[in-house]
Amino acid sequence: MAESITEYRNLIGGRLVAAADGRTLDSVNPATGETWARIPASGRADAEAAVAAAREAFPRWSAMPALGRAALLRKVAEVFAANAEELARIETRDNGRILRDTLKRDLPGMTYLWQIAAGDVIDAVKGDTVILGPDTLGFTRREPYGVVLGIIPWNSPISTFSAKAAYALAAGNTVIIKPAEQACASVLRLGELLAGVLPPGVLNIVSGLGEEAGDALVRHRGVNKISLTGSTQTGQAITRASADALKPLTFELGGKSPNIVFADADLDAAAQGVTVNSVYTGNAGQVCVAGSRILIQRPVWQEMIERVTAIAGGLTLADPLDLATTMGPIVSAGQYERVTGYLEIAEKEGAELVFGGTTGAAVVPSMPGGYWVAPTLYTTTDNSLRVCQEEIFGPVAVAIPFDTDAEALAISNDSSYGLAAGVWTRDLGRAHRFIRDLQSGTVWVNTFRQMPPGLPFGGVKDSGYGHDAVLAYTREKAAIIQT
Ligand code: NAD
């Protein structure tokens, strides 16, 4: 039976509104292939309205005592806690990320993140004092930028929304969020829930296509800072579009993260770490930090391949809204084409198929219209293959053997990306050397995909620069008083 369609609206100036010209985009449930929601297809007029509302709200919001802002951010945290189940279900229906992940991992984390951001308001107003001479006092003031634009992807809308909005608001900025057109219902629902919690115009949410709504916002002279979580190509497009106005940018972009298993590792933990918490479950590999290159030291190569094969074979591909499901679908028809295209590329390039691939089609009989891709593993000794160098963003891993530490490091760093890396070893000295030498924003040792608030999260090389934190949403002014 067809699902009933939910209509979502933008949040602009405290009001829930359709796009100015009434256009909408369909939001498809990727597990069924059916349209389940409609979202505003915003354009230039909506971008104008959102920027005007954010600019109007800025003077009062930035002048509010820091503890007043903190009290309101704590109220937002309460909204997350009170509506966790509903928000998690909306996000799972919208992007296919399994409910186990959205409900048990993301939502509790978000309540915590907004509480932490509320505590961070003090850091945002702290400055330095420099005594320059007996009659000369120097000091710094931290000031918000003004209007911050947060552009977020479809794979974890609630958490990327929170990472940007919470810290930018804590620092005294007003915010416009542009969620991704493929999946933004959870963020638009948050707009409904937060409309009466934050003063009008302090938080605005404008959905629509990247090249239309996103581009109009990026180019707007009334936007003072941009933070993007998305692909490297979009980061490059935004850099070009914002160059004339010299806007400060923060970019959290793509990755091709290595997960390195040494022969001395706890192989039980490593096998779980390179599969379930990385490239297969959770979001079917549609995770920026997915450990899509699994490097395995030769003495344990065979054993690890067998363990990974057994774990992948035990995954349950089914309705992501079912808590027993361990892997969901690919987010959209477009992304499905891209991922399955890479399976063909891998096989043409000569990567050896272990499981999945073009011949291992995933079948979920109760949901035949969904965008299902089977967990897939290839092996190769050639890290220059496209499937080793390009971000696939699906449940596709490539295993690469190595002998020495130097070889593992060289293969890991032979990538245009540098977002994250995993190291599985019992050798503490080696762990420290890899933490030092890996070209990567985060290095996990004997764990994977932990991203707690309080530690920076961002990349190097084509994976971006900067990260979402309260100080990233402030700039420093110097003052000198001569008496
Ligand atoms: P995307 O870059 O296509 O889209 C991201 C956002 O940018 C969307 O809201 C989109 O509408 C907008 N956008 C696209 N073109 C634009 C333009 N010209 N101007 C303004 N906005 C524009 O990425 P995606 O497909 O939504 O998400 C997948 C990508 O995001 C992957 O590369 C993944 O690695 C990355 N990602 C990174 C992180 C991280 O923290 N590093 C986290 C999640 C996802």
pLDDT tens string 127-184: 999 999 999 999 999 999 999 999 999 999 999 999 999 999 999 999 999 999 999 9
pLDDT bucket at 477, cuts 50 / 70 / 90:
very high
Residue 391 CA, closest ligand 1 atom number: 32
- The best mutation among 94, 158, 231, 440 to test binding of ligand 1, ranked by most ligand atoms within 8 Å of the C-beta, falls on 231
pLDDT tops 90 at residue 114: yes
Q: Are strands 15-17 and 10-12 parallel, antiparallel or unpaired?
A: antiparallel
pLDDT tops 60 at residue 214: yes
Q: What is the mean pLDDT of the chain?
A: 96
Residue nearest to atom 19 of ligand 1 (CA): 215
pLDDT for 2? 56
Is residue 252 flagged as an active site residue?
yes
pLDDT tops 70 at residue 194: yes
pLDDT for 453? 84
Choice among 7, 181, 211, 252 that is catalytic: 252
Determine the average pLDDT of the residues in 212-239.
98
CB-count burial class (<10 Å; 0-12, 13-18, 19+) for 414: middle
pLDDT for 162? 98
pLDDT tens string 13-41: 999 999 999 999 999 999 999 999 999 99
pLDDT for 166? 98
pLDDT tens string 79-88: 999 999 999 9
Instruction: State what percent of residues in the chain have pLDDT above 90.
Output: 96
pLDDT tens string 333-358: 999 999 999 999 999 999 999 999 99
pLDDT tops 80 at residue 1: no
pLDDT for 454? 85
For residue 265, the CA-to-ligand 1 centroid distance in Å is 35
Determine the average pLDDT of the residues in 469-473.
96
Give the residues surrounding ligand 1 with Cβ less than 6 Å away.
151-155, 178-181, 210-211, 214-215, 218, 229-231, 234, 237-238, 252-255, 288, 391, 393, 419, 459
List CB contacts of 240: < 8 A, sequence separation 6 or more: none
pLDDT tops 80 at residue 3: no
pLDDT bucket at 4, cuts 50 / 70 / 90:
confident
pLDDT tops 70 at residue 375: yes
Residue nearest to atom 16 of ligand 1 (CA): 210
For residue 305, the CA-to-ligand 1 centroid distance in Å is 32
Instruction: State what percent of residues in the chain have pLDDT above 70.
Output: 99
pLDDT for 277? 79
Residue nearest to atom 11 of ligand 1 (CA): 210
- The best mutation among 288, 339, 461, 463 to test binding of ligand 1, ranked by most ligand atoms within 8 Å of the C-beta, falls on 288
pLDDT for 428? 98
Residue 218 CA, closest ligand 1 atom number: 20
SS3 track for the chain? CCCCCEECCEEECCEEECCCCCCEEEEEECCCCEEEEEEECCCHHHHHHHHHHHHHHHHHHHHCCHHHHHHHHHHHHHHHHHCHHHHHHHHHHHHCCCHHHHHHHHHHHHHHHHHHHHHCHHHHHCCCEEEEECCEEEEEEEEECCEEEEECCCCCHHHHHHHHHHHHHHCCCEEEEECCCCCCHHHHHHHHHHCCCCCCCCEEECCCCHHHHHHHHHHCCCCCEEEEECCHHHHHHHHHHCCCCCCCEEEECCCCCEEEECCCCCHHHHHHHHHHHHHCCCCCCCCCCCCCEEEEEHHHHHHHHHHHHHHHHCCCECCCCCCCCCECCCCCHHHHHHHHHHHHHHHHHCCEEEECCCCCCCCCCCCCCCCCCCCEEEECCCCCCHHHHCCCCCCEEEEEEECCHHHHHHHHHCCCEECEEEEECCCHHHHHHHHHHCCCCEEEECCCCCCCCCCCCCCEECCEECCCCHHHHEEEEEEEEEC
pLDDT tens string 92-102: 999 999 999 99
pLDDT higher for 3 or 115?
115
pLDDT for 294? 98
pLDDT for 360? 74
Q: What is the set of domains in the chain, with CATH numbers?
A: 6-253+463-480 (3.40.605.10), 258-453 (3.40.309.10)
